[in-house]
Amino acid sequence: MDYVDELTSGRTPLVKKAAKKILKGKLKGYGPFLHQALEGEMEKPKSWESQMYLLYAIAATDCTEEVPYLKSLLLRDIPTPVTYRSLAVAIAYLENLETENLSFVYESLESNNSSQAAGACAAIYQRKIVLKDDDFNKIMSYVTQPKYLEHIGQVINPFLFILAASYLFSEKNREKIVDFSRQFDISTVKDLINDVTKGKDGRRVSLF
């Protein structure tokens, strides 16, 4: 347990450094200390980067016991969009650890919080979930809404994560999202189209 002292130090630079190491190595066993560190960092509104790495580490090391706590944090008034996205990706990622459960994804898409919606869709990509036809069509009906496409290319939005994940989808569904995507004259979208039509993950929007 090489990083306990850093996680419990209360010092943001040390906490962030430890969380990045745990994330990179997917080091198990740090759950309680990641929780303790996150509690402290959530009291620091400007510490969005340490919050992000702690949340990614919690997800990547399969700390499913943290889901109720993470959901409680969503109820707070959080000033940083990145933290909402990071919370959502961690929750949805952990809820799909053993069996597919898209309930939080749909809850996020209906939340009118674009950062939360992006995080939930990012978990589909990060977790390599192969969407069934009904789920694909339903999620597409959300992520193609104008409010999510308005700033496409400027921010990582829900649609881009679903497009990035489509290399795993059925040929029919992959063609459907690729055909829709061709209307956007944006380099990120073009690169993603190039990746998924080759059936590969280019990791262009990978969060961890």
Q: What pLDDT digit, counting tens, does each position of 154-171 carry?
A: 778 999 999 999 999 999
Residue 49 CA to residue 196 CA, distance in Å, equals: 30
Query: What does the pLDDT average to over 69-86?
Result: 96
pLDDT at 112: 86
Q: What is the pLDDT of residue 150?
A: 87
Q: Under DSSP, is residue 109 helix (H, G, I), strand (E, B) or coil? A: helix
Residue 56 has pLDDT above 90, yes or no: yes
Q: At what angle do helices 81-95 and 114-126 cross, to 10 degrees?
A: 40
Distance CA 200, CA 194 (A): 9
Question: What SS3 state is found at 87?
Answer: helix
Alpha helices in 65-203 (DSSP H): 67-73, 81-95, 103-109, 114-126, 133-143, 146-149, 158-165, 171-181, 187-197
Burial of 28 (0-12, 13-18, 19+ CB in 10 A): exposed
The average pLDDT across 34-56 equals 97
What pTM value is reported for the model?
A: 0.96
Mean pLDDT of 22-27: 97
Average pLDDT, the chain: 96
The average pLDDT across 18-35 equals 98
The confidence score (pLDDT) of residue 1 equals 86
Determine the pLDDT at residue 44.
96
